[in-house]
Homo-oligomer: A and B are copies of this chain.
Amino acid sequence: MDPLRTKLGGISMINVTIWNEYLHEKRDETVKEIYPEGIHAALKKGLQSNDLNIRTATLEEAEHGLSEEVLNSTDVLVWWGHLAHGDVEDYIVERVHQRVMDGMGLIVLHSGHFSKIFKKLMGTGCDLKWREAGEKERIWVVNPAHPIAQGLPEHFELEHEEMYGEHFDIPAPDELILVSWFQGGEVFRSGCTFTRGQGKIFYFRPGHETHPTYYNENVLKVIGNGIKWAAPTLSAKPVRGNAQPLEQL
């Protein structure tokens, strides 16, 4: 019940940590050109607002930049990974998992569907169909009342994206907000929410590293809305284990 959000100058801000694997951008010229300072830096800049207090963390930092201190002061963690899911240390995955159980929000982007933390939280394989053909994606809002859709048009397009197709091996999401149409003939559940423990999780599909997707206004709007939705809104931490009766037996 302890409010996790920082109060700065009387204004309640959400503490966001954007985690990025940050390998493609250092190894691949095409990606470097699009995201010269990394996807995390582009997202940080694009999401900048008075409500958010944003920092970043990357794989090659000590403890992947996710020390207990960092996580304990993170309200919402954003996750982008692709090449090196296996290099994320298990004890860090456990730490993030525990923090989600305790109420931290988690935004999983694109290829993060195959990250250890997402698979652990879902309990399923999290696999899907994919195709790198730079085809058109059109994202439709199927839940126009949801705060994550706030301010979105009925649909928006990404001219060139990687395709992800069904069946996406996740549990039925608590809420389905966005569905993608792909030029090559597939559909995908692209905006999905889940609650696990006291933590809120939002999976959002777009963001292949070879396309400038994270500069797209609507993509940024969705991620920003997702962060606000996923920020902790906690009731009392549940007490578990052996319990005394509340009524006379």
A interface list, Cβ under 8 A from B: 1, 101, 103, 120-125, 127-131, 133, 135, 138, 140-147, 149-155, 163, 165-169, 171-172, 174-176, 179-187, 189, 194-200, 233-247, 249
Contacts and interface: CB of A to CB of B under 8 A. Distances in A.
Given A129-B243, A145-B199, A241-B130, A194 B167 contact: no
B125 A235 contact: no
A166 to B, nearest CB: 5
B150 A243 contact: no
A146 B233 contact: yes
A145 B233 contact: yes
Contacts of A146: 195, 233, 235
Contacts of A138: 185, 246
The quantity of this chain's copies bound in the complex is 4
A7 B166 CA distance: 32
Given A195-B171, A235-B150, A131 B184 contact: no
Contacts of A183: 245, 247, 249
16 contacts: A120-B123, A121-B123, A129-B242, A131-B245, A140-B165, A141-B235, A144-B237, A150-B233, A152-B236, A154-B238, A166-B238, A171-B171, A172-B176, A172-B195, A179-B187, A185-B247
